[in-house]
């Protein structure tokens, strides 16, 4: 293989057209979103925002069905889904209003929102494949003094099993509550 062909093969393998941004809507997810937007701007990629409604255990489903009734349990899930989609929309709109002239630029038409149900790590990986995303971006939580050593359990599971490039964004130590609430 000649050098020109090798460069072309490497460039093609680094093509990023679609980024899966997984969020739990925590404050740290704001920082991860900024990374996703920056990467999308650099590569001319689209972003799919994924939120995973965590699966209830069989016992949880039984108890809630007995308490709420099966039809109300389903209504509750749909209500949560709508609420989450609304919160994501509000955050996206706040971002678009806050940085319209700054780079990186983001247009609402470049963003899709997907809400799935299941175990977060499994759903992130499954949706990344199903939606044909080229990269995954997600945040992680720093919990206690071990934050420098250990990733969050979801991030760790995704990282171990991912077959795509993944960017895990930690919460900066200099982050304050005031700049976390900006968007």
Which residue ranges form the domains of the chain, and what is each CATH number? 9-180 (3.40.50.620)
Length of the chain counted residue by residue: 183
172, 31 in Cβ contact below 8 A? yes
Going by the DSSP 8-state scheme, the letter that residue 104 receives in this structure is S
* Rounded CA separation 106/123 (Å): 25
Instruction: Summarize the confidence of residues 126-141 as an average pLDDT.
Output: 93
Instruction: Summarize the confidence of residues 90-107 as an average pLDDT.
Output: 72
Furthest CA-CA distance within the chain: 68
* Rounded CA separation 115/127 (Å): 10
Question: Rounded to 5 degrees, what are φ and ψ at 132?
Answer: 55, 45
106, 42 in Cβ contact below 8 A? no
- Who wins on pLDDT, 177 or 62? 62
pLDDT at 179 over 70: no
- Who wins on pLDDT, 154 or 65? 154
Q: What is the pLDDT of residue 45?
A: 93
Instruction: Summarize the confidence of residues 53-62 as an average pLDDT.
Output: 72
Task: State whether residue 101 is helix, strand or coil.
Answer: coil
78, 53 in Cβ contact below 8 A? no
pLDDT at 123 over 60: yes
Q: What is the pLDDT of residue 18?
A: 96
172, 140 in Cβ contact below 8 A? no
H/E stretch holding 180: helix 177-180
Distances (CA, A) of 139 to 10, 21, 60, 136, 146: 28, 9, 28, 10, 16
User: End-to-end CA distance of the chain, in Å?
Assistant: 49
Question: Rounded to 5 degrees, what are φ and ψ at 145?
Answer: -70, -15
């Amino acid at each position: 293989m000649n050098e020109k062909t090798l460069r072309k093969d490497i460039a093609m393998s680094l093509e990023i057209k679609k980024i899966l941004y997984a969020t739990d809507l925590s404050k740290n997810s704001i920082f991860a979103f900024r990374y996703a937007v920056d990467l999308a701007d650099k590569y001319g990629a689209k972003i799919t925002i994924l939120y995973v409604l965590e699966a209830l255990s069989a016992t949880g489903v039984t108890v809630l069905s007995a308490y709420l009734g099966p039809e109300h349990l389903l209504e509750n899930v749909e209500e949560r889904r709508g609420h989450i989609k609304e919160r994501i929309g509000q955050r996206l709109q706040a971002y678009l209003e806050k940085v319209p002239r700054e780079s990186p630029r983001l247009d609402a038409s470049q963003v899709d929102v997907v809400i799935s149900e299941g175990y977060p790590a499994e759903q992130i990986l499954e949706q990344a494949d199903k939606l044909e995303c080229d990269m995954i971006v997600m945040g992680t939580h720093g919990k206690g003094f071990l934050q420098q050593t250990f990733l969050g359990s979801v991030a760790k599971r995704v990282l171990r099993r991912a077959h795509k490039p993944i960017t895990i964004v930690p919460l900066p130590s200099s982050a304050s509550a005031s700049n976390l609430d900006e968007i």
